[in-house]
Amino acid sequence: MSLFDLRLTDLHNKLAHRELSVTDLVEHSLKRIQATDGQIGAFLTLDEEGAREEAAKLDRQLASGGERGLLFGLPSGLKDNMVTKGLRTTCGSKFLENYVPVHDATVVNKLRSAQSVTMGKLNMDEFAMGGSNENSAYHPVRNPWDPTRVPGGSSGGSAAAVAAGQLYFALGSDTGGSIRQPAAYCGVVGLKPTYGLVSRFGLVAFASSLDQIGPITKNVEDAAYVLQAIAGHDELDSTSANVEIPDYTAALTGNVRGLRIGVPKEYLGQGVDPQVKERVLESLRVFESLGAVWEEVSLPHTEYAVSAYYLLASSEASSNLARFDGVRYGVRAEDPANLMDLYRRSRSEGFGPEVKRRIMLGTYSLSSGYYDAYYKKAQQVRTLIKRDFDQVLEKYDLIIGPTAPTPAFQLGEQVDDPLTMYLNDILTIPVSLAGVPAVSIPCGFADGLPVGLQIIGKPFDETTVLRAAHAFESNTDHHTRRPALS
Amino acid sequence: MSITVKDVEHVAALARLDLSEQEKEAFTGQLNAILGYADKLNELDTSGIEPTSHVLPLFNVMREDEVRPSLPIEEVLANAPEEEDGQFKVPAVLD
């Protein structure tokens, strides 16, 4: 058994009993990154020196005794849209190729307090816009299960790094499925918490009413540990929720007897791969055998979610990305004729095609004469979608379905067809619009590719989501399978 | 309603983007496809439905207006493409 197959608590114990040093763990990770990342491409910036220094410091602390943080000594990675003081943060964009932040995101501070070792910054679709990681301005990420396929996106680097055994956990961000979909494609666990549970301070904004940071891990228990370390109110984020943070790992009792599960008929309908559907039905039988009950339900506005989402998220993005003007940071066009020329050329040279497309779509939706027809209409439809969830979650504890309609697709397959690409998110987007928590966990394979099961809960009820996910995982072995990477 | 190259040029100007002829062509087609799909929303009667801008019942967050530490000027300017005398430098705005 490799170190990488151990749970975070096992590693924690080994460190405590000095069977292992933090340096051992960090070197093990570095070795794995060197061996596999040429093939996978998960990293944009590897902080080898910083990681080694931090490991040595933690080992000295270990020798002198004293309190250890919740994630003591565990090597982790950050999606490259979370700012790190002194460490380049690109957002997967050429615009920020040389941007070195002067402050840390709140989640970065929290991981530091928990004493995790940050190994570096992970690849992503530019400004988190995409579902395949092919929109990275640097290089694509490849799926560890099949390097001819995409890892999903936009947190593709985070999911692939964990699946490839490079890191013990990673943080991703999810706007319309960007944690859950890559977790599903890469066969790992990805949790999108309730909107507002984790601070967005220092997360480069894409769509502010939807963005949420969450953990990507190998198993559900690890996800609960990482969530424990990063959740909580932050006065630096005015949309951060002021709620009490429960003990997430204590909730993993294994008991799901009597739990009521709603299975939306829209999530197993047209467009869902038959093998994906079969894996989900098998998973429901596991829940049944554990004493949970499930019934078919309806989320009738599901088919409108993708349209509403692309209008809303692009509108928010067009406003958020106005800050990239070539004045305070990022690229600046050479020899601008005047200020307007500086703005226009800096932005045109710095942004890639998908980012420009979404800025165009958002600007159009917000422009005079179209606001009511597109932006406001989409906000009203968002209300209807949220009501669908409210109504089902009044009667049921959880909603379960697939995370994505198909397993990972081939690189290049959809890159020229934005609309088809957007439809990969059809089962994750409604959840984002409703703001409720959801986790994707491995539930089997389709032709050798991982399939993700999506477990959706009530607002701020991550404990029930995690409890059910953990109970499922404890009775199956899908999460223990590893890709056959050389 | 379909979008023309002229519309694309207008929106690009609003968004402070310079598009090549090729980009204008591509975006015209793609925006028509995406907005055509988005017209699906018109199947729904939303009269009287409150728009949702945010899922949390959030209100303005207020605090006392007191002086707090902020970043030193050198750090604020650390990533500036061009700066002078502790300020961001841009081309002349007025002739």
A268, A234 in Cβ contact below 8 A? no
Partner residues linked to A456 by β-bridges: A399, A438
Is the model's pLDDT at B54 over the cut of 90? Answer: no
Contact A430, A181 (CB under 8 A): no
User: Which one of B14, B79, B93 has the shortest CB-CB distance to A367?
Assistant: B14
Are B17 and A196 an interchain contact pair (Cβ–Cβ within 8 Å)? no
The pTM score is: 0.97
Q: Which domains does chain B have, with CATH numbers?
A: 5-43 (1.10.20.60)
Cα distance between residue A217 and residue A139, in whole Å:
23
CATH number of the CATH domain containing A120? 3.90.1300.10
Nearest CA to CA, how far is B10 from chain A (Å)? 9
**Does A163 map to a domain?**
yes
Residue B95 has pLDDT above 70, yes or no: no
Instruction: Tell me, yes or no, whether A102 lies in a domain.
Output: yes
Which band of pLDDT confidence, cut at 50, 70 and 90, is reported for residue B56?
confident
What is the per-residue pLDDT across A227-269, written as a single tens digit (0 to 9) for each? Answer: 999 999 999 999 999 999 999 999 999 999 999 999 999 999 8
Name the percent of chain A lying above pLDDT 90: 93
Measure CB to CB from residue B46 to each of A306, A311, A381 and give the nearest one: A381
> Mean pLDDT for chain A?
96
pLDDT (mean) for A127-138? 96
What's residue B1's pLDDT?
60
In a domain, A188, yes or no: yes
Return the pLDDT at A435.
97
Q: Indicate yes or no: CB of A364 within 8 angstroms of CB of B91.
A: no
Distance between CA atoms of B91 and A149, rounded to whole angstroms?
46
Q: Confirm whether A475 is domain-assigned.
A: no
Tell me if A149 is assigned to some domain. Answer: yes
Is B83 in the A-facing interface, judged by CB distances under 8 Å?
no
Residue A164 is given by DSSP the state: T
B61 CB near a chain A CB, below 8 Å? yes
Q: Chain A residue with minimal CA distance to B74?
A: A102
Residues of A taking part in catalysis: 79, 154, 178
- Chain B contact for A336, CB < 8 A? yes
Chain A: closest CA distance from residue B65 (Å): 14
pLDDT tops 80 at residue A415: no
Q: A79: domain range?
A: 3-259
**Which pLDDT belongs to residue A459?**
97
Residues of B in contact with A242 (CB under 8 A): none
Kindly give, in sequence order, each residue whose CB lies less than 8 Å from that of residue A119, ignoring residues fewer than 6 positions away.
Answer: A26, A29, A30, A33, A46, A47, A51, A75, A76, A77, A166, A167
- Going by C-alpha positions, the residue among A405, A393, A470, A404 that lies closest to residue A436 is A393
Higher pLDDT pick, A169 / A1: A169
Cβ proximity of A451 and A443 under 8 Å: yes
Q: Return the pLDDT at B62.
A: 85
List, as ranges, residues 188-207 from A with C-beta within 8 Å of B.
195-196
SS (H, E, C) A288-315: HHCCCEEEEECCCCHHHHHHHHHHHHHH
pLDDT per residue as tens digits for the range A304-341? 999 999 999 999 999 999 999 999 999 999 999 999 99
Alpha-carbon distance values, A99 to A224, A333, A352 (Å) = 32, 16, 17
CB-CB neighbours of A295 under 10 Å: 10
Q: What is the pLDDT of residues A44-86, one digit of tens each?
A: 999 999 999 999 999 999 999 878 999 999 999 999 999 999 9
Q: Which residues in chain B have their CB less than 8 angstroms from residue A326's CB? A: 81
A455 band by pLDDT with thresholds 50, 70 and 90 = very high
Tokens of A243: 């709620």
Q: Which of B17, B43, B61 sits opposite A359 (nearest CB)?
A: B17
Q: What is the pLDDT of residue B2?
A: 87
State the nearest Cα–Cα gap between A178 and chain B, in angstroms.
19
Average pLDDT for B60-81:
92
H-type alpha helices, B17-82: 21-38, 73-76
Residue A156 domain flag: yes
**Mean pLDDT, to the nearest integer, of A117-131?**
97
Residues β-bridged to residue A402? A453
Query: pLDDT grade, residue B51 (50/70/90)?
Result: very high
Nearest by CB to residue A100, choosing from B35, B40, B79, is B79
Size of interface A-B (CB pairs under 8 A): 158
- Surface-to-core class of residue A248, CB atoms within 10 Å of its CB (0-12 exposed, 13-18 middle, 19+ buried): buried
Number of domains in chain A: 1
Extended beta strands in A277-415, E state? 293-297, 398-402
Binned at pLDDT 50, 70 and 90, residue A416 comes out as confident
Distance CA(B88)–CA(B74), nearest Å, equals: 11
Flag if B17 and A344 touch (Cβ within 8 Å).
yes
Q: What is the pLDDT of residues A207-229, one digit of tens each?
A: 999 999 999 999 999 999 999 99
Q: What is the DSSP string of A198-267?
A: B--TTBPPSSTTT-EEEEEESSHHHHHHHHHHHBS--TT-TT--------TTTT--S--TT-EEEEEGGG
In tens, the pLDDT along A3-48 reads: 888 999 999 999 989 999 999 999 999 999 999 999 999 999 999 9
CB-CB under 8 Å, B81 with A356: no
Q: Give the closest-approach CA distance of B3 to chain A in angstroms.
A: 10
- Tell whether A357 lies on the interface with B, counting CB pairs under 8 A: yes
User: Are B79 and A328 in contact (CB < 8 Å)?
Assistant: yes
Contact criterion met (CB below 8 Å) for A399 and A280? no
**Interface membership of B94 toward A (CB under 8 Å):** no
Digit-coded pLDDT (tens) for A418-449: 777 788 899 999 999 999 999 999 999 999 99
DSSP output for A378-390: HHHHHHHHHHHHH
Task: Please give the pLDDT value at position A381.
Answer: 98
User: Using a CB-CB distance cutoff of 8 angstroms, which residues of chain B are in contact with residue A459?
Assistant: 55
pLDDT digits (tens, 9 = 90+) for A151-166: 999 999 999 999 999 9
